[in-house]
Amino acid sequence: MPATARDSDSPPPDPYTIVGDGPRERLLTALAQSIREQGFRGTTVADVVARARTSRRTFYEHFDDRGQALIALFDAVNDVAIRAIAAAVDPTAPWTTQVDQALDVHVGVIEAEPEITVSFVRELPALGAEAIAVQAAVTDRFADLIVGLVDTPEWRAAGVQPLPRHTAVLLVGGLRELIVYAVERGEDLSALHPPARDAVKAVLDPSRRRWV
């Protein structure tokens, strides 16, 4: 995945405002709004369709139930977040700065929307095979992002060889588990910035890498 220089005049998009004005996009945006105010368990289909200014029939044309809508929101949010991270990273910056740029967006999104993060952490695991498949696909997309961001002239000049995919998956999974750990304990999500940066830099540090 090629990296592109960041446009400093263009802030990354809000991952929780789904781009598009079709009924599906409006329903997902409405679901996010409702979760912010009353949580997923307190959100009904009626709440979502009222906010989206659509009908229950339209809702069920796109989703089987609230759970499937939450899975779709998770997928859409992560897609926008991945693009926001890619846009935030300046591939000409020192590698440590690139790590900071990527994690500032990633952790910042989570920190800005704690209610939705809690819903993803607590509700998705109970939603069965479809949720598991979407989570796996999101992991793959984040791994692709990391592999692509590291495969640049700046990283190669620092002595870094292409990152093994399994290592990228390890980073994605480790960050996810850190988020789950903090959410389940009600910790301040802003406290995730330092350990996330330290852990990722320790793994990627060219002076310590020994990939074959």
Q: What is the pLDDT of residue 212?
A: 42
The pLDDT-based confidence of 14 (bands split at 50, 70, 90) is: low
The pLDDT-based confidence of 6 (bands split at 50, 70, 90) is: very low
- Mean pLDDT within 170-181: 92
Residue 10, pLDDT above cutoff 60: no
Give the whole-angstrom CA distance, residue 134 versus residue 115: 20
Task: Kindly state the helix (H) or strand (E) to which residue 81 belongs, with its residue range.
Answer: helix 66-88
Closest CA to 197 of 112, 118, 96: 96
Domain 17-63 is classified in which CATH homologous superfamily?
Homeodomain-like (1.10.10.60)
The pLDDT-based confidence of 198 (bands split at 50, 70, 90) is: very high
Tokens linked to 97: 């700065």
Give the whole-angstrom CA distance, residue 144 versus residue 136: 12
> Higher confidence at residue 208 or residue 24?
24
Closest CA to 3 of 91, 110, 67: 91
Tokens 């020192």 found at = 94
Q: Where are the domains of the chain?
A: 17-63, 66-204
Instruction: Provide φ and ψ at 8, rounded to 5°.
Output: -65, -15
- Mean pLDDT within 163-178: 93
Give the whole-angstrom CA distance, residue 111 versus residue 13: 15
Classify domain 66-204 by CATH number.
1.10.357
Q: What is the pLDDT of residue 19?
A: 60
